[in-house]
Amino acid sequence: MKNKLQQLAVWGEDLAAVYLEKKGYRILGRNIRSAYGEIDLVACQEIQSEFLNGIQAPIKLLTVFVEVKTRSSTSYGYPEQSINIRKRAHLLACAQEYIRQHPDLEGEWRVDVIAILRTDQGLPPQIDHFENAVTAD
C-alpha cells in the first residue's frame, strides 16, 4: 500500500499525463528507470512546420522528458523549486540514456517540468508547465 506522498505523486503524474494529452502530446512512457534515476513521463510533441520560401517544411517530432512535481502546500516552497542542481544532472543523464537506447527517437529533445499544487480539495489544482526547464547550460 502506498503512503500519502506516493499517492499524491501518482495522482500528479496521472494529471500531468492527461494535461499533456489535451495539449496534443502523445505519452510514450511513464516512470522510466535508468542507472541515473527515473523520468516521470516521456512524451512526443509534433512541432508545426513553417513555410520557408513558400514551401511547408515537414512536421518535426520532439521528444519531451517530463519531471512532475506535486505538492499539497507551499510550506516548503513551490513544487518547481525542488528541482536542484543534482536533480537537473540526473534528469539530463536519464534523458540522454533514453535517447541512446531508442535510436528511433533521433532528433531534438528537451526536459520539461510540470508543477502541480493541490492546496484545497474543493478547488482545481494549479498546473504550471515549464518547457525546456532543464538544460545543460
State how many domains the chain has: 1
The pTM of the full predicted model, rounded to 2 decimals, is 0.89
CATH number reported for the structural domain that contains residue 27 in this entry: 3.40.1350.10
Distance (Å, whole) CA 37 – CA 20: 22
Look over the chain and give the mean of its residue pLDDT values, rounded to a whole number: 90
For residue 9, the model assigns a pLDDT of: 92
Give the residue-averaged pLDDT of 64-78: 92
* Domain enclosing residue 31, as ranges: 4-134
Tens digit of each residue's pLDDT (9 = 90 or more) over 39-59: 999 999 988 766 666 676 667
Give the list of residues 6+ apart from residue 1 with CB closer than 8 angstroms, or none: none
* Whether residue 2 has pLDDT greater than 80: no
Give the phi and the psi of residue 86 in degrees, each rounded to 5. -65, -45
> pLDDT tier at 61 (50, 70, 90 boundaries)?
confident
Distance (Å, whole) CA 125 – CA 57: 38
Look at residues 100, 97, 133, 111 and name the one whose alpha carbon lies nearest to residue 63.
111
Distance (Å, whole) CA 12 – CA 68: 7
